[in-house]
Structure 1
Amino acid sequence: MKNFPNAFVIIISAVLLAWVLTYIIPQGSYQRITNEQTGITTVVNDSYQETEGNHLSAFEVMLSIPKGVAGRADVVVLILLLGGCFYVIEKTGALSQGLHKLVKILKGKEVVSLVIVSLLFTAAGVSIGMQEEVIAMMPVLLIFGKSMGFNTYTTIYMSYGSTVLGSSFSPSNPFGVIIAQQEAGLALLSGSGFRLIVLGIAFLLWVLYLIRYAKNNKVDKIEASGSHGKMDLNAKIILTLLCLTFVIVLYGLLMLDWGFMEMSATFFVLGIISGLLGKLGVNGTGEAYVNGFKEMIFAAMIIGLANSISMVLKEGMIIDSIVYGLFGPLKYLSASVSGVLMMVSHAILHFPIPSYSGQAILTMPILVPLSDLIGISRQTCVLAYQYGAIMGDLIVPTNGALMAILAVCGIPYNKWFRFAWKPLVLMLALGGISIVAAVYIGYN
């Protein structure tokens, strides 16, 4: 389809559609209780009631746009500063020198490079649920992909796609399985053995699919510009600092309870140091940062705009009604069928709720008693959530990270959907089989 709407038009259209749905879907809500000590709000099971609230006016819908951007300010700042940092490093020539060295090492070993990159990004998804951070890396990844003869879809698949895979099948994603287990009253990191086995199978299938696709869709290799010289000392120091920064950020996220702001500050400092080491000078470093901001501003805004969709649905008081309608009928089905349909329902629910951590907090208090009633263990209930909701990030147009990456890569959403639905269905099929197996073995 020619002239398919771009990411901006799709997001704004989704906001308007959400507004229309607030007039069609009955308003309703669950009761909620906030723990004064932890500040965590939980949903009271079987407390759903239809209500009659005020509908949003056209002006209130328009207000949701700046409110949505402001609500994701921490992520917007991260994308801008991380993008600026990578742009500065690129301007020093360190990235092109490093890429040239890497391509020389992997020359004739394209399959090996696919596996290594996919493994690294899968590990990032498993450990810290990485997604938004990939946005700023995409320009560099695209250069690497073209140098290896990969098309843009392969590059996105092995990077962003692999983070989604790792986040979904992870035994330890702090924003997914950990939150869900906490809400389900399970010991944190419990049941990891089964999850690791399924993760290994998922990664194997994922990589085999990627290798097959990459072999059938090769493009002419394009050598990175300015990459003919040897790596100088400053480039080696800058790239070493870049690797060290990722280690520091990973440690901060896992051990120091860091958030997006701490990550932003760390990469901002790295960009400044890299610019000075790369002999850009004070003014040159500042100008490079500004140019990096310009490259990332559209992607950053898409993240904020996507937040407006769920905001309209919440203020229109239909989010709880959607949850009630999706999961209520499951209690009349067998345990295995209910488990699989629970996963499918999570995937559908992820369209209006693009935050999978928010989806866990909303749904787990409702689904845990339902799971107990129909004979599904709480661990299996969490599996259905993480496989359905998080894998949905591969295609849901309300996910700001995905739309931002597509915007950076210049790929229309419809073309991405035609590519991504097959591996998504493959992974959901594996998830469904795993859920059925979990029910039969009494996974708990």
Structure 2
Amino acid sequence: MKNFPNAFVILLGVIFFSWLFTYVVPQGSYERFLEEETGITRVVNNSYHSVDAERPGFFDLLVSIPEGLEKGADLIVLIFLIGGCFYIIEKTGALNEGLAKLVVLLNGKESYALIIITTLFTAGGVSIGMQEEVVALAPVLILFGKSLGYNTLTMLFASYGSTVVGSSFSPSNPFAVLIAQKEAAIPLLSGGTFRMAVLLVAFLVWLVYLLRYAQKNRIEKISMNPTHQKMGVRHSIILWLLCLTFVIVILGILYLEWGFNEMSACFFALGILAALLAKMNLNKTTETYIDGMKEMLFAALIMGLANSISIILTDGMIMDTIVYGLFGPLQNFSPATSGILMMVSHSLLHFPVPSYSGQAVLTMPILVPLSDLIGLSRQTCVLAYQYGAVMADMIVPTNGALMAVLAIGNVPYNKWFKFAIIPTSLMLLIGAIAIIIAVVIGYR
């Protein structure tokens, strides 16, 4: 379809239909309380009840747009500043020179490049739940892929897709597994051996699928104008600073509880340092930075718009009704069947709740008592959540990071969905098998 709606139009449409649903779906709510020690609002189990509240008006629909942008402000700033940073590094010539050297080094060994990229981004998902960070890297990765003869879908598969797999099957993702385990009142990082084994299986299947697709869909290589001369000292320093920045950011996230603002500060500083090393004057530096931020405008707006959906559903008092409707019937099935249906329900719920950390806080207090009732271990309950909710980030159009990378790659959503549904289904199948095995072996 040549005229298939772009990411912006799709999200605006979903926001509008979410607003319409608030007039169709019965209103209801769970009781909640604020935990003073952590500052987290928690859900009281078995407290769902019908409510009769005012439905959001059309002006509330309009207000949800700026509210969504405001809610995602720190992430939007990160995307702008990383975009400006990489644009400066690109304009210094260091990035192109470094990629050109890699192209020469990998000539005839392109498959190794895909294996390395897939492994690195999977590791990023496993360790820090990397996802949004791929948005700013997408232009460079796509360019690098084309220089190796790989199309845009291949590179998005190897980068963004791999972060989703790593995040979903991770034994330690702080924004998924650890939050869910805390909500389920089980020891943090417990059950890691089983999760690691499933992760290795999923990674190998994912990698094999990627390599087969890439081999069947090669494109003509785009020349990077490689040079056999020794890389200049300034360019080498800039690229080493880039690597050092990523190391600092990862360590900050893992050990210093850094958020998006701290990451933004690091990349802002890197951009300024790169410009100074390239001997740009202050006017040229700021103008180049702004040009880079302009390149990321579409992606940043999409990230913000995705938040408006949950705002509308929550204000319309139907979010809890959706949760109750999806998970309530599970108590009528066997533990294994309930676990699989729980995973599927999490995937469906991820459409209106694009934050999987928020989904854990919303659903775990409801599902843990239900799991105890039907004989499903709490560890398996967490498995169903992480496989279903996080893996859905591959296909749900309400996920801002997905729609942003598709916008950067100029890939229509319908083309991506057709491409991604098979490998995503394979991953969910592995998750379903893992849940069955977990029930059989009494995984706790």
Calculate the TM-score normalised by the size of structure 2: 0.99
Separation of aligned partners in 2, 1:322 and 1:13: 19
Instruction: Give runs of aligned pairs for residues 167-178 of structure 1, distance below 5 A.
Output: 167-178=167-178
Q: Which amino acid aligns with 1:246?
A: F
Deviation by residue 1:182-205 (Cα, 9 ceiling, x = unmatched) = 111011111110010000000000
Q: Which amino acid aligns with 2:331?
A: K
1:243 and 2:254 matched: no
Q: CA deviation at 1:360?
A: 0.3
Deviation by residue 1:246-268 (Cα, 9 ceiling, x = unmatched) = 11001110110100000000100
Contact map agreement 1:97 1:230 (CA 8 A) in 2: no
Aligned residue in 1 for 2:282: 282
Aligned residue in 2 for 1:219: 219
Deviation by residue 1:335-392 (Cα, 9 ceiling, x = unmatched) = 0000000000000000000000000000000000000011111010000000000000
Aligned residue in 1 for 2:103: 103
Q: CA deviation at 1:104?
A: 1.3
Aligned residue in 2 for 1:208: 208
Instruction: Give runs of aligned pairs for residues 325-344 of structure 1, distance below 5 A.
Output: 325-344=325-344
Aligned residue in 2 for 1:2: 2
Aligned residue in 2 for 1:405: 405
Separation of aligned partners in 2, 1:26 and 1:244: 52
Contact map agreement 1:110 1:148 (CA 8 A) in 2: yes
Separation of aligned partners in 1, 2:354 and 2:441: 32
The alignment partner of 1:34 has SS state of strand
Q: CA deviation at 1:279?
A: 2.0
Q: CA deviation at 1:121?
A: 0.3
Instruction: Give runs of aligned pairs for residues 377-416 of structure 1, distance below 5 A.
Output: 377-416=377-416
The alignment partner of 1:220 has SS state of coil
Judging changes above 3 Å, is the alpha-carbon distance between structure 1 residues 289 and 229 closer, same or farther for their aligned structure 2 residues?
A: farther
Q: CA deviation at 1:281?
A: 2.4
Instruction: Give 5+ residue unaligned stretches, structure 2.
Output: none
Q: CA deviation at 1:227?
A: 5.7
Aligned residue in 2 for 1:38: 38
Contact map agreement 1:92 1:279 (CA 8 A) in 2: no
Instruction: Give runs of aligned pairs for residues 292-311 of structure 1, distance below 5 A.
Output: 292-311=292-311
Contact map agreement 2:157 2:210 (CA 8 A) in 1: yes
Contact map agreement 2:104 2:226 (CA 8 A) in 1: no
After TM superposition, the runs of 4+ consecutive aligned structure 1 residues lying more than 6 A away are none
Q: CA deviation at 1:225?
A: 5.0
The alignment partner of 1:47 has SS state of coil
Separation of aligned partners in 1, 2:225 and 2:431: 43
Contact map agreement 1:121 1:163 (CA 8 A) in 2: yes
Contact map agreement 2:34 2:42 (CA 8 A) in 1: yes
Instruction: Give runs of aligned pairs for residues 413-428 of structure 1, distance below 5 A.
Output: 413-428=413-428
Count of aligned pairs? 444
Q: Kindly, what percent of the aligned residue pairs are identical?
A: 63
Separation of aligned partners in 2, 1:230 and 1:220: 27
Contact map agreement 1:391 1:424 (CA 8 A) in 2: yes
Aligned residue in 1 for 2:137: 137
Deviation by residue 1:262-285 (Cα, 9 ceiling, x = unmatched) = 000010000000111122222221
Q: CA deviation at 1:327?
A: 0.3
Q: Which amino acid aligns with 1:382?
A: V
Aligned residue in 2 for 1:361: 361
Aligned residue in 2 for 1:115: 115
Q: CA deviation at 1:63?
A: 0.2
Judging changes above 3 Å, is the alpha-carbon distance between structure 1 residues 238 and 440 closer, same or farther for their aligned structure 2 residues?
A: same
Q: Which amino acid aligns with 2:175?
A: F
Contact map agreement 1:28 1:50 (CA 8 A) in 2: yes
- For the aligned residue pairs, the C-alpha RMSD in angstroms reads 0.9
Aligned residue in 2 for 1:70: 70
1:313 and 2:313 matched: yes
Contact map agreement 2:68 2:308 (CA 8 A) in 1: yes
Separation of aligned partners in 1, 2:258 and 2:227: 36
1:152 and 2:152 matched: yes
Q: CA deviation at 1:245?
A: 0.6
Separation of aligned partners in 2, 1:231 and 1:355: 42
Separation of aligned partners in 1, 2:123 and 2:281: 36
Contact map agreement 1:335 1:374 (CA 8 A) in 2: yes
The alignment partner of 1:24 has SS state of coil
Separation of aligned partners in 1, 2:442 and 2:100: 51
The alignment partner of 1:41 has SS state of strand
The alignment partner of 1:164 has SS state of helix
The alignment partner of 2:37 has SS state of coil
Separation of aligned partners in 2, 1:166 and 1:223: 32
Separation of aligned partners in 1, 2:199 and 2:142: 27
Q: CA deviation at 1:37?
A: 2.0
1:437 and 2:437 matched: yes
Judging changes above 3 Å, is the alpha-carbon distance between structure 1 residues 225 and 292 closer, same or farther for their aligned structure 2 residues?
A: farther
Separation of aligned partners in 2, 1:419 and 1:200: 23
Contact map agreement 2:11 2:397 (CA 8 A) in 1: yes
Instruction: Give 5+ residue unaligned stretches, structure 1.
Output: none
Q: Which amino acid aligns with 2:423?
A: P
Q: Which amino acid aligns with 2:61?
A: V
Separation of aligned partners in 1, 2:23 and 2:212: 46
Aligned residue in 2 for 1:197: 197
Judging changes above 3 Å, is the alpha-carbon distance between structure 1 residues 410 and 228 closer, same or farther for their aligned structure 2 residues?
A: farther
Separation of aligned partners in 2, 1:235 and 1:166: 32
The alignment partner of 2:33 has SS state of strand
Q: CA deviation at 1:101?
A: 1.1
